[in-house]
Structure 1
Amino acid sequence: MAQAQLDAESNVLVPAGEEEDDSLASFPTREGWWTTFVLYHGCWLTPQAATSVSLVRAQFAPRPDDVLLATYPKCGTTWLKALSFAVTNRSSHPVVGACAGDHPLLTSHPQDLVPSIETPFRHLHPLSALDAIPSPRLLSTHLPHQLLPPRIVELGCRIVYLCREPKDVVVSTWHFMNKVGNGFFLDLDEAFELFVDGCSLYGPVWDHCLGYWKKSIQEPDTVLFLKYDDMMADPAGHVKKLAEFLRVPFTDDEVRAGVVDEVVRLCSFERLSSLPVNSSGVVDRIGGRPMENSSYFRKAKVGDWKNNLTEEMAQKLDAVIAEKLKGSGLTF
């Protein structure tokens, strides 16, 4: 299939042939945040991201034993990557004992230990890098369920989905975008209204959550649905649940030896954010947007929205979320 190309000057998608003219080039656009967004199959993306996603959907070759960590942006992605990496690799990289001091999480950013399928942008960085990773692969994505490469669903690849209270998401997103936007700054009121209207990167947030929520109910052995607030309240319990789902459950001996507690400690915000590899340096993990490693670590607090949103704003977002999720059984 012909692929759309990104025009460097206009920053919009240009079709490579008539087939693409009915898809990428014809999607609605909207100004907001830091650039024009494209409503790609019901999901708001930047033009570059839409091009990358198109390539991923067409070219990514999943394997039956792949595990995909899926999150809406600013919902604990870095934490989930760290926990999942530590849990799945603890036989080769122990978290307790003499070798614990050499653990990869102490010297590598969690974002780099679990690569994303759609970033760095695949029209700039081919998917062959993912093909070279030995099985079983631990991968990540911000894609909503309906935009996953079809073969992921067909093969029954396991998916861990982590969501977060939307009020905390919008505040965290606003802080993050203003920090990494290379001079971009958006007033909180503007960002909030865009978010409530459904226009945010990989949004609307309610559709993102609902897609994985419904699949987790239909196929609980394939999709594990987690909530950030619940994980923060009981990290050890959720690490055990994560290990069970990933088919590497903790043994009684491991539990008695404190392995679960050590995974929690190793992957804690306090521990990870203090490491030099995470607190200093600049890396371009997306494609054309270098960001400080520390930008992935802000507060990790539940309820921080109270320090930023007015009560009126909170009630407005709560009402929208309640309406969008009504009847699904999913609540925040």
Structure 2
Amino acid sequence: MALASHKQANEENELILSLPKEIGLSAAPYLHFFQDFWCPPYCIEGVNNFQKHFHAKDNDVLVASFPKSGTTWLKALTFAIVNHQSFPSFNHHPLLSSNPHELVSILEFMLSHDLHDQILSLSNMSEPRVLGTHLPFSSLAESITKSSWKIIYICRNPFDTFVSVWEFITKAKSVSSPKFTFEEAFEKYCNGIIGFGPWWSHMLGYWKESITRPNKVLFLKYEDLKEDTKFHVKRIAEFLDSPIIQGGESSTLIENIVNLCRFEKMKDLEVNKSGCIFTFFEKKTLFRKGEIGDWINYFSPSMIEKLSKIVEEKLGGSGLSFKIHS
């Protein structure tokens, strides 16, 4: 067993050494180009383990996102919807005492260490399981893409996404993370050299799958969810065939879930004010402003022009577009 483990570690090291790498927009000192996306080195083992050893169950739910696109909020909403019958009280709910990332684990992070223990932990989770990922669709385990798993994907206006990533990375506690000026970070973003990027191919992978298989992938925009939360929470519930949309109390239940997961409410909870997620991300950095259009306070006219052209070039013709709020 030890010999096999040692052999696997050597294979992982050889793989990492063979991959192109760049200093990118990430909490890691550099990123590797792996399976056509820029992967933090601490995730490569987790991605391989995920693809080789993860077994999906047909009633599982996956929350997928590009980082800093509304992940924490969507995890909270999905967990509340899926687990309503297990936790019907909104006054004594797990989301009041646990961070959403503690309740909905990111698979590639989770499976990066203690594989046997983590697989056992996953198999013992109560069903339906709600799990998370930042991986592009093309890197998901086959047991997910070929099963009846439900995937809910959220993305965000690329302008606001960049600002949110920038603020998040600069507040990371990791001493090894590269220190960029705002302008340097913007260039990395425009070139797609960002953790789990390029951001445009990440969005397009899930977008195309949501068109091909709308019963499998629900594609959401952060801006839409923000502007009409109740409507889109109902969409999520309908997509998941949740019992909360049945009966005369459905409107009240949806309103209670929306209120439970409000940005201001989650930000003000003691559990989200201190402590860390993934060792070097402070929980409080997960809740900054949650606004639409804050990017206008950061971008120069030339930056606006450059990113607008990239959005048009990369997403043009796909049917996926974003309103530029200013």
TM-score normalised according to structure 1 size: 0.88
Please say if residues 209 and 217 of structure 2, whose CA atoms lie closer than 8 Å, have aligned partners that are also in contact.
yes
Structure 1 partner of 2:65: 71
Q: Give, in angstroms, the shift of residue 123 of structure 1.
A: 2.9
CA offsets, 1:171-227, max 9 Å, x none?
100100110143443211111100100100000000000000000000000000000
Aligned residue identity for 1:137: R
Show the counterpart of 1:43: 37
Q: Is there any run of 5+ residues in structure 2 with no aligned partner, and where?
A: none
Distance in 1 (CA, whole Å) between partners of 2:114 and 2:29 is 19
Given candidates 261, 266, 274, the residue that maps to 2:255 is 261
Q: Map of 1:164-179 to 2, 5 A cutoff?
A: 164-179=156-171
Secondary structure class of the residue paired with 1:118:
helix
Cα shift at 1:124: 4.5
Counterpart residue number, 1:197: 191
Shift, 1:233, TM fit: 0.5
Secondary structure in 2 matching 1:69: strand
Counterpart CA distance in 2 for 1:92 and 1:128 is 22
State the shift of 1:42 in Å: 0.8
Which residue does the alignment assign to 1:9?
A: none
Structure 1 alignment gaps of length 5 or more? 6-13
* C-alpha deviation, 1:4, in angstroms: 5.5
Residue-by-residue CA offset, 1:227-252 (whole Å, 9 max, x unaligned): 00011000000010000011105124
Aligned to 1:251: 246
Question: Shift of residue 279 of structure 1?
Answer: 1.4
Equivalent of 2:130 in 127, 138, 141:
138
Assess if the C-alpha contact under 8 Å between 2:49 and 2:111 holds in 1.
no
Question: For residues 111 and 171 of structure 2, what CA distance do their matches in structure 1 show?
Answer: 21
* One-letter amino acid of the counterpart of residue 118, structure 1: E
1:52 matched to 2:46? The reply is: yes
Is 1:127 matched with 2:123? Answer: no
Instruction: Report if aligned partners of 1:4, 1:24 keep a CA contact under 8 Å in 2.
Output: no
1:222-301 superposed matches below 5 A: 222-248=216-242, 249-256=244-251, 258-280=252-274, 282-283=275-276, 285-286=277-278, 289-301=279-291
1:180 paired residue number: 172
Residues in 1 aligned to 2:255 and 2:227: alpha-carbon distance in whole angstroms: 14
Residue 202 of structure 1: SS of its match in structure 2?
coil
RMSD (Å), alpha carbons: 1.9
Separation in 2 of the partners of 1:226 and 1:271? 22
Give TM-score, length-normalised by structure 2. Answer: 0.90
Q: Which is worse superposed, 214-223 or 104-113?
A: 104-113
Q: Percent identity?
A: 38
| Aligned residue in 1 for 2:293 | 303
Which string of whole-angstrom CA distances, capped at 9 and with x for unpartnered residues, describes residues 9-63 of structure 1? xxxxx535xxx85x54422111234512100011101111122211211111111
Rounded Cα–Cα distance in structure 2 between residues aligned with 1:208 and 1:313: 22
Aligned in 2, Cα 1:264/1:298: closer, same or farther, shift over 3 Å? same
- The equivalences for 1:69-148 within 5 A come to 69-94=63-88, 99-120=89-110, 122-124=112-114, 126-148=118-140
- Please give the alpha-carbon distance, in whole angstroms, between the structure 2 residues aligned to 1:130 and 1:268: 28
Query: Which moves more between the two structures, 210-219 or 244-253?
Result: 244-253
Q: Please state whether the residue corresponding to 1:224 is helix, strand or coil.
A: strand
Q: Which residue is equivalent to 2:11?
A: 15
The secondary structure found in structure 2 opposite 1:156 is coil
Query: 1:269, 1:300 within 8 Å by CA — same for their partners in 2?
Result: yes
Equivalent residue number for residue 28 of structure 1: 20
How much does 1:320 deviate?
Answer: 0.6
What amino acid sits opposite 1:197 in the alignment?
N
What SS is found at the alignment partner of 2:146?
A: helix
Give the distance between the partners of 2:134 and 2:249, measured in 1 at CA.
32
What is aligned with 1:62?
A: 56
* Cα-to-partner distance string for 1:56-101 (whole Å, 9 max, x where unaligned): 111111111111000000000010011111111222222xxxx331
- Equivalent position SS for 2:319: coil
From 206, 210, 215, the equivalent of 2:209 is 215
Tell me the distance in 2 between the aligned counterparts of 1:304 and 1:260: 28
The CA distance in 2 between the partners of 1:133 and 1:89, in whole Å, is: 12
Partner SS state of residue 75, structure 1: coil
Contact 1:37 1:46 (C-alpha < 8 Å) held by counterparts: yes
| 8 A contact 2:66–2:199 mirrored in 1 | yes
Separation of aligned partners in 2, 1:318 and 1:124:
43
Please identify, of 112-121 and 228-237, the stretch whose mean Cα deviation from structure 2 is larger.
Answer: 112-121
- CA distance, structure 1, for counterparts of residue 137 and residue 174 of structure 2: 30
Distance 1:4 1:225 in 2: 36
Alignment match, 2:145:
153
